[in-house]
């Protein structure tokens, strides 16, 4: 420790000081940040906003928007209503002619679709099992070969 202090005193007491490096005089990052903040502050001070605040957004859930019905909109509505009435009349005519509706057929179709889905899933499972067995047989054959 004494040698460290002796060396330190020798350098401090030396009349020939260390020369100044050019890098010490260059601007540092802190100086750059300070300049940036000053420029930003002068820019913000230059902006002049009036004190008018915007209105709140209307709550469209509470207030229904008024819809102006045009002739075209009314014709579209009438066309939709007429189409629904024609469809209903068609169903009633079919029921009167056949004395039954399509609900039984739709139920049968849903059952058949479900049955087909079950068969397809069983087929997939069967293929997976077959592939696993083939893989195991190949591994056993490879071991026997070695």
pLDDT in tens, 50-88: 777 778 887 878 877 777 889 998 999 999 999 999 999
pTM listed for this prediction: 0.31
pLDDT tens digits for range 19-44: 667 776 777 777 888 888 999 988 88
Alpha helices in 47-102 (DSSP H): 71-98
Domain ranges in the chain are 2-44, 102-146
pLDDT tens digits for range 89-126: 998 888 777 766 677 888 899 999 999 999 999 999 99
Q: Which residue has the tokens 């079950």?
A: 118
Round to whole Å and give the CA distance between 143 and 146: 5
Which residues have CB under 8 Å from 121's CB, separation 6+? none
Round to whole Å and give the CA distance between 14 and 6: 12
């Amino acid at each position: 420790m004494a040698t460290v202090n002796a060396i330190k005193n020798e350098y401090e007491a030396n009349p020939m000081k260390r020369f100044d490096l050019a890098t010490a005089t260059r601007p540092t990052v802190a100086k750059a940040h300070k300049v940036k903040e000053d420029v930003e502050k002068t820019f913000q001070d230059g902006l002049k906003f009036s004190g008018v605040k915007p209105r709140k957004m209307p709550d469209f859930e509470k207030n229904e928007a008024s819809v102006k019905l045009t002739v075209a909109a009314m014709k579209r509505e009438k066309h939709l209503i007429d189409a629904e009435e024609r469809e209903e009349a068609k169903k009633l005519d079919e029921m009167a002619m056949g004395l039954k509706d399509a609900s039984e057929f739709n139920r049968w179709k849903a059952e058949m679709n479900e049955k087909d889905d079950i068969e397809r899933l069983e087929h997939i499972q069967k293929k997976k099992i077959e592939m696993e067995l083939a893989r195991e047989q190949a591994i056993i054959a490879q071991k026997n070969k070695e």
